[in-house]
Structure 1
Amino acid sequence: MKFGIFIDLQLPRPWNEGDETRLFQEALEQVELADRLGIDYVWAQEHHFLEEYCHSSAPEVFLAACTQRTKKIRLAHGIVAMSPKFNHPARIAERLATLDILSGGRLDWGTGESGSRMELEGFGVDFVDKRSMWAEAVSEVVKMMCMNPYPGFQGKYFSMPHRNIVPKPMQKPHPPIWAACSNRDNVQLAARLGMGALTFAFVNAEEAKFWVDTYYDKFRENCTPIGQSINPNIAMLTGFMCHEDMDTAISRGQEGAQFFAYGLGHYWRDGTHVPGQTNLWDDFKHRPKSVLERMERERKKAGMGGIGTPQQLIENFKALEDAGVDQLILLQQSGNYSHEHICQSMELFAKEVLPQFRERDIKNEKLKLEKLEPFIEKARNNIEILKTMTEIPAVDAYPLVWNQKGTPDQQGVPDRRPGMTAFWQMQVGGNRSKK
């Protein structure tokens, strides 16, 4: 089982001048530390308008900084919001390829639909369209990264003419693709499309086995990849705070993990939010008010298996490994965790816990691929063969088009738009020879 860390960039109120700057700089230091300690992945979220819960609205910029501060750790989008109203598919392809090059081929491409009203309506996305928007965009971004040139597309949610999207990614045919999964149907969809499954939900070992079995059963049964490569993996999230003393680990880590779950509920399930006004942290601290609410918060301890002593973590993580989880993502920054405690926790984890899994991971990965090989080969045969353009139309620059259309228009009014020389002078302020 591999391990990753999760960059959520949570910032509970009250906010003081410089807090966001500090938060970003500390997060970069945590990624650098994870790289030195031998942690496998860092996952950076993309969310918008989710005050306090997630200030990671430009993960491509954050990951770009990480490319220059790290050497081995894989840099992963967890996720890119794929709706063309959030991000134009061509811009996604360009950014992914650039990040892959800057990182030396260490990028993973997590994809998602987004699901909160704050985000979807903020970008004008109808909830009922989000799944089909995601599928259309993922399919076309794959082609943009693989084809030379991309033949263009006339779709329901976006269209564009033929263009060659540059640069191309270092990893061929493209970085590994993942899909965010919040339920059984999504897990099966990821498996059917040959994508890794990112389950950003707290689960215990028994629940994890159900998700893992669901994923791999569907992968073996029916996989028609959406991409040009296959990524059979399932990753899960856990709260995280490691300390030699159990009570200290709990006092440092439990509240932050509960705030993460509370924020999810607020924005996705039962919250009422006033932008710029709602104090999520204050609401969290003053709830639960009833016995039933307290019981519900206590019930949500499936994700607390990563909060404790090294020995407790070894036992709890081994159960998830035995359940077949391929990667465990550590929620190392949430709520009001202190940077010092986060770093201490990561260092102790790397010293005492990580070595217990490293050797088995190499062996288990090899065995897994051997067992899956017939099904992977079957899925490879279902990969779409991309059809290259036999004739590529030329695209004239605007002045050439204007000159070609320099005759009077249908109303008899002469075309007064500038010719080549005037256009050059307007654009660069220079003189262009008429020879």
Structure 2
Amino acid sequence: MKFGIFYEHQLPRPWDDGAELKLFQDALDQVELADRLGIDFAWEVEHHFLEEYSHSSCPEVFLAAASQRTKNIRLGHGIKLMPPNYNPPARIAEEIATLDLVSNGRVEFGTGESASRAELEGFNINPAERRAMWLETTEQVCNMMAMDPYPGYQGKYFSMPVRNVVPKPVQKPHPPLWVACSNRDTIHLAAQLGIGALTFAFVDAAEAKKWVDDYYETFKRECVPIGHTVNPNIAMVTSFSIHHDREEAFRRGFDGFKFFQFGLGHHYVFGHHKPGRTNIWANYEKVKAAMGAEQLDFLGGGTDGIGTPEDLRQHLRKFADAGVDQTVFIQQGGKNRHEHICEALELFAAEVMPEFKEEEERRQKQKMDELAPYIEKAMQRKQWMRELTDDEIPTYAAYGAMIAEVDTSNLEGAARIRAERWKKMREVLAKV
């Protein structure tokens, strides 16, 4: 099994001067440390307007910065918002490819729709159409990265003419594709489309096995890739705080993880939010005092990653036995302290991770050997976007060339001089 760390960039109130600066710099330090320790992935979300819960609105910038401080760790969008009002599809293709270039081919291309009212209405997106938007744009962004030139597209949610979208990514035909999943229905869809499943639901090992089995059975029977390649993988999130003293591990990590759940519930389920004024941390502390932190179970548990190294080992062993490909740690939540996060990562790398690393190469080879004939059939079922022949690729004139074709007698001054120069250049080029 592989391992990842996950960032929302949570920043509970009150906000002191320099708090966001410290938050981002600490996170970069943590990713650098994780890279040195041999952790496999660093995942970064994209959210907008979700105060306190997530200050990560530009993951491509953070991941680019992390790429220059690391060598091996995979840099994952967990996820990139695909509805065009958030990110025009061609811009996504350009950003992913550029990040792949500056990171020397280490990008994981996670995709998603978003679900919060703050974000959807903030960008004038109809919630009922977000799944259709995701399907349309995800397929076309993959085409943009893989095709030379991109043949153009006339769709329901975006359109563009023939263009060669550059740069192209290091990883061919494009970086591994993922989608955010919160339930078994989305897991099923991910398998049908040949996409890795980033599961943001806190489930126990028994439920995880059901999700894994459903994913791989569906992948084998029904997969028709949405991209130009497949990425059969399941990643599941868990809490994370370890210390040799179990009580100390809970003291350091439990409150932050529960705020992670509470903040998610506030923005997505039960909250009433006044932008710039609602204090989610204060509301959390009121509820915690009234109910007890152990009763704040909005997402079905997920605290099995908090405890001693042996506690975590047993938890991860159950996930590995269930067939989970990657476990992603929620280590930066609430007011968890930077130094405690770093200490926990070091302890995990020293005492827990090695036994799972020893098995990974063999497990991965066995898995891919088993899936190889199914992947071949899946690629045969895909309906590919047709490449244009050279004769079909349209030529378009620069604006200056278009101006040079008009009558210049009615132009004055500098405009007339420019037009005459463009006309002369056109005459020269015509003779070449």
TM-score by shorter chain over 0.5: yes
**Residue deviations 1:319-351, cap 9 Å, x none?**
011111100000111100110000000000000
Alpha-carbon distance change, 405 to 182 in structure 1, aligned in 2, over 3 angstroms? farther
Looking at structure 1, the residues matched to 300 and 387 of structure 2 have their Cα atoms a distance apart, in angstroms, of: 52
In structure 2, give the amino acid aligned to 1:174.
H
Aligned alpha-carbon RMSD (Å)? 2.2
Structure 2 match to 1:383:
382
Q: Does 1:396 align with 2:397?
A: yes
Match of residue 261 from structure 2: 261
**SS of residue matched to 1:35:** helix
Cα distance per residue 1:396-427 (max 9 Å; x no partner)? 1112212334499xxxxx688975743799xx
SS at match of 1:202: coil
Q: Provide the residue aligned with 1:342 in structure 2.
A: 341
* Amino acid in structure 1 at the alignment position of 2:136: E
Distance 2:412 2:154 in 1: 33
Aligned pairs for 1:270-285 (under 5 A) are 270-285=270-285
Give, as a single letter, the amino acid of the residue that structure 2 aligns with 1:313.
L
In the alignment, what sits opposite 1:251? 251
Structure 1 residue 374, shift from structure 2 partner: 2.0
Give the letter for the 2:238 counterpart.
Answer: T
Deviation at 1:143, TM superposition (A): 0.8
Distance 2:131 2:379 in 1: 24
AA aligned to 1:397 is: A
- The equivalent residue for 1:62 is 62
- How is 1:109-128 mapped onto 2 (pairs within 5 angstroms)? 109-128=109-128
Q: Does 1:422 align with 2:418?
A: yes
Deviation at 1:269, TM superposition (A): 1.1
Partner SS for 1:109: strand
Are the counterparts in 1 of residues 258 and 293 from structure 2 also a CA contact under 8 Å?
no
Distance 1:421 1:88 in 2: 37
Contact map agreement 1:237 1:331 (CA 8 A) in 2? yes
Pick closer, same or farther for the CA change 1:420–1:66 going to 2, 3 Å: farther
- CA offset at residue 91 of structure 1? 0.4
Deviates more, 1:371-380 or 1:68-77: 371-380
Relative distance call for 1:296 and 1:221 in structure 2 (3 A) is farther
Question: What's 2:164 paired with?
Answer: 164
Aligned residue in 2 for 1:190: 190
C-alpha distance 286-101 of structure 1, shift in aligned 2 (>3 A): same
SS of 1:198's partner is strand
Q: Which amino acid aligns with 1:394?
A: T
Alignment map for 1:302-381 (pairs within 5 Å): 302-381=301-380
SS at match of 1:254: helix
Distance (whole Å) between structure 2 residues aligned to residue 120 and residue 41 of structure 1: 28
Moved over 6 A (4+): 414-418
CA displacement at 1:250 relative to structure 2:
0.5
Equivalent-residue separation in structure 2 for 1:14 and 1:299 (angstroms): 24
Change (3 A) 1:318 1:97: same
Measure the CA separation in 2 of the matches of 1:407 and 1:129. Answer: 49
Consecutive unaligned residues of structure 2, counting only runs of 5 or more, are none
Partner of 1:93 in structure 2? Answer: 93
Distance 2:264 2:356 in 1: 30
Corresponding residue of 2:143: 143
Count of aligned pairs between the two proteins: 423
CA distance, structure 1, for counterparts of residue 149 and residue 17 of structure 2: 47
Whole-Å separation in 2 of the counterparts to 1:377 and 1:113: 29
Q: Which amino acid aligns with 1:422?
A: R
Q: Is the 8 A contact 2:235 2:326 kept in 1?
A: yes
Distance 2:135 2:317 in 1: 35
Q: Distance in 1 between matches of 2:417 and 2:203?
A: 66
Conserved in 1, the CA contact under 8 Å of 2:45 and 2:59? yes
Contact 2:111–2:178 (CA<8 Å) still a contact in 1?
yes
Cα separation, 2, equivalents of 1:183 and 1:417: 66
Going from structure 1 to structure 2, the CA distance change for 1:361 and 1:78 (only over 3 Å counts) comes to same
2:106 counterpart residue number = 106
Cα separation, partners in 2 of 1:418 and 1:395, compared to 1, 3 Å: farther
Question: Alignment partner of 1:168: what SS?
Answer: coil
Deviations 1:106-141 (A, max 9, x none): 100000000000000000000001001111100110
Quote how far apart the aligned CAs of 1:294 are: 6.5
Partner of 1:411: none
Shift of 1:382: 1.9
Say if 1:75 and 1:424 are closer, same or farther in 2 by CA, change over 3 A: farther
**SS at structure 2 position matched to 1:340:** helix
CA contact (8 A) 1:239 1:330 kept: yes
Identity of aligned residues (%): 53
**Aligned partners of 1:295, 1:10: CA distance in 2, in Å?**
21
